[in-house]
Amino acid sequence: MREVSVKDIIASVKELCIEANYQLGEDVEQVLEEGYKKEESPTSKETLSQILENVQISRQGEFPLCQDTGFAVVFVDMGDQVFVKDGNLFEAINEGVRQGYKEGYLRKSILGDPIQRKNTGDNTPAVIHLNIVKGDKLKIIVAPKGGGSENMSEVKMMKPADGVEGVKEFVIDMVRRSGSNPCPPIIVGVGIGGTFEKCAEIAKRALLRIVGSQNPNPFYANLEKELFEKINNLGIGPQGFGGRVTALAVHIETFPCHIASFPAAVNIQCHAARHKEAVI
Amino acid sequence: MPEPKRITTPLTDQAVEGLKIGDNVLISGGIYTARDAAHKRMVEMLDRGEKLPFDLKGQLIYYVGPSPARPGKVVGSAGPTTSGRMNKYAPRILQAGSKGMIGKGEMGPSVAEALKKYKGVYFAAVGGAAALIAKSITANELVAWEELGAEAIRKLTVKDFPAIVVQDCYGGNLYVEGVKKYQRA
């Protein structure tokens, strides 16, 4: 067994929260630049130019990309040879979030109770997805998720008879109904299969892929391409102002499913597609 | 893109009449922040016939909940929040003399009607361009209801705040017309 101290986990999560909120991934920046070149609407071109300028200002480390610095969603791949010492893994992650949101001057957006709606004051708790993998490393991904795009997400328990056409219709309708709300241009995470909750989880995991990368299965890679074109033909455009760049990418992830089931999920991500990872 | 139009608050009817959907504008002067909780209080006060903590006449309301300011900065990142949540309140605020609002996303039919009736204009700021917008904010003072935290009413002084006219006083709606223009079968 390899020992990993919670001190290192806290320090790592803290840094990742700050880095994710100030340093947009180069893959996202690159597709935004391509979008700027492609966009036909002058208003939307101006919008993309403001978004790109914002990326540069934020990178200097004084102002986060967006004032909505998100719910801290944390994915952990923990090697089966790792032993966490000096404390508890989940408590360490929450402590890292607490420190990162304070020291990074990030907005605290989490309410302790959904009905009473009182702010926890430190942006905890994090939403944590833990996976056990082979090895002696601990991989941590912090993906702060804003409320605007998260609100435009849905799981649908379709009928097996709905088939691939049903999935296409669901995804396109979801993006159309979302319109300007999720702050387009967006990345569309699609989960197909699994159970109700697994489907939503893989839709979210799809957002962690390098933007514009293809599903390794050619069938799904083609489906991604077809959905990408159809979504951009909706004309929603950056911020919903009308234009040719509505989606920066469509990412599909799948999971085996029950003979009676056919779940699909759409998780929309705004252009501030933030996630950073570290391996301890 | 044509040169942006420069406007200064408070706005007159005439200034509002000169703005049409798709116009790229730079706003200077004072703007007032308010979101859900502050709107609820303002509308309740207006309905009771009470005087608001600031004069709405000609003013713009900015739907925003900034991130914390670093020491030496007047504000943190300060991009718009979703305006649709204020659909219920915005017509009453326009009726009371405000000339419009800044936010993101389409506002409802009752707001479109109120923009026509009271001569108002709805601007969108670019959602997620929060660091860029923060650079245009030169002062930030508390006006009322500090206990609401990020939702308190503040007066922001802005210089060349970038925005786009999305719903105008003629019933124009960029969210509808823009999409129509760029959709393909």
Residue A65 — very low, low, confident or very high, per pLDDT cuts 50/70/90? very high
Whether residues B178 and A41 touch (CB distance < 8 A) is answered with: yes
Tell me the ipTM for this assembly. Answer: 0.93
Please state, for a pLDDT cut of 90, what percent of chain A lies above it.
98
Instruction: Inform me whether the pLDDT recorded for A224 exceeds 80.
Output: yes
pLDDT at A244 over 90: yes
Alpha-carbon distance A173 to nearest alpha carbon in chain B (angstroms) = 14
The pLDDT value recorded for residue B147 is 86
Q: Do A66 and B128 touch (CB under 8 A)?
A: yes
Alpha carbon separation from B139 to B32, B69, B121, B148, B156 (Å, rounded): 12, 12, 24, 20, 6
Q: What is the mean pLDDT of residues A164-181?
A: 97
Q: What angle do CA B163, B41, B159 make, to 5 degrees?
A: 25
Question: Alpha-carbon distance A112 to A83, whole Å?
Answer: 31
Picking from A228, A229, A245, A225, the residue whose alpha carbon sits closest to that of residue A237 is: A245
Q: Note whether B122 and B28 are within 8 A (CB).
A: no
Q: Would you list the domain boundaries of chain B?
A: 5-182
Does B182 contact A237 at a Cβ distance shorter than 8 Å? yes
Alpha helices in chain A (DSSP H): 6-22, 26-38, 42-59, 89-103, 147-150, 163-178, 196-206, 218-232
CB of B179 within 8 Å of a chain A CB? The answer is yes
What distance in Å separates the CA atoms of residue B105 and residue B89, rounded to the nearest whole number?
Answer: 16
B56 touches B98 (CB < 8 A):
yes
Q: What confidence score (pLDDT) does residue B149 get?
A: 79
Chain B partners of A274 at a C-beta cutoff of 8 Å?
none
Residue type, A225: K
The span from the CA of A213 to the CA of A225, in Å, is: 11
Contacts of A236 in chain B (CB under 8 A): 179
Q: How many CB atoms lie within 10 A of CB A120?
A: 14
* Cα dihedral: A18, A21, A25, A28 (round 10): 170
Are residues B69 and A105 in contact, defined by beta-carbon separation less than 8 angstroms?
Answer: yes
Instruction: Let me know if domain B5-182 sits in CATH 3.20.130.10.
Output: yes
Task: Determine the pLDDT at residue A117.
Answer: 83
Residue B178: both structure tokens together = 């823009």
A69-103 confidence digits (pLDDT tens): 999 999 999 999 999 999 999 999 999 999 999 99
pLDDT tens digits for range B123-147: 999 999 999 999 999 999 999 999 8
pLDDT of amino acid B113: 98
Question: To the nearest whole number, what is the mean pLDDT of chain A?
Answer: 97
- Spell out the residues 6+ positions from residue A197 whose beta carbon is closer than 8 angstroms to its own: none
Q: pLDDT confidence of A174, banded at 50, 70, 90? A: very high
- Closest alpha carbon to B61 in B22, B86, B36, B33: B33
- Tell me: the pLDDT tens digits for A9-18? 999 999 999 9
Dump pLDDT digits (tens) for A151-171: 999 999 999 999 999 999 999
How far apart CA B139 and CA A71 sit, in angstroms, is 29
Q: Which residue of A has its CA nearest to B162?
A: A50
For residue B1, pLDDT beyond 70:
no
**DSSP-derived 3-state class of residue A144:** strand
H/E element, B114: helix B109-117
- Tell me the mean pLDDT in the region A256-276: 98
Q: What is the DSSP letter of A133?
A: E
| Residue matched to tokens 């608050």 | B9
Higher pLDDT, A148 or B185: A148
Strand partners, A53: none
Q: Give the angle subtended at the CA of A15 by the CAs of A10 and A17, to the nearest 5°.
A: 95
Using a CB–CB cutoff of 8 Å, tell me whether A51 touches chain B.
yes
Q: In this complex, is the C-beta atom of A81 within 8 Å of any C-beta atom belonging to chain B?
A: no
Contacts of B9 (CB under 8 A, 6+ apart): B27, B28, B29, B30, B31, B58, B59, B60, B99
Check if A120 contacts B (Cβ < 8 Å): no
In the prediction, which pLDDT does B99 show? 98
Between CA B78 and CA A103 the distance in angstroms is 18
pLDDT category of residue A1 using cuts at 50, 70 and 90: very high
Number of H helices, E strands in chain B: 6, 7
| Residues of B with catalytic roles | 39
Q: Tell me the C-alpha distance between A147 and B80, whole Å.
A: 13
Residue A227 to residue A248: CA distance in whole angstroms: 11
- Whose tokens are 């002062």? That residue is B139
- Give me the pLDDT at residue B95, please: 97
Neighbouring CB atoms inside 10 A of B54's CB total 14
pLDDT mean over A193-209 = 98
Q: What distance in Å separates the CA atoms of residue A115 and residue A95, rounded to the nearest whole number?
A: 25
Distance CA A157, CA A262 (A): 6
Look over chain B and give the mean of its residue pLDDT values, rounded to a whole number: 95
- pLDDT higher than 70, residue A225: yes
Domain ranges of chain A: 2-20+65-145, 148-274
Query: Do the Cβ atoms of A240 and B131 come within 8 Å?
Result: no
Radius of gyration of chain A measured on its C-alpha atoms = 19
Q: Residue A95 and residue A276: Cα distance in Å, rounded? A: 17
Cβ-count burial A236-268 (b if 16+ within 10 Å, e if not): bbbbbbbbbbbbbbbbbbbeebeeeebbbbbbb
**Would the pLDDT of B2 be above 90?**
no
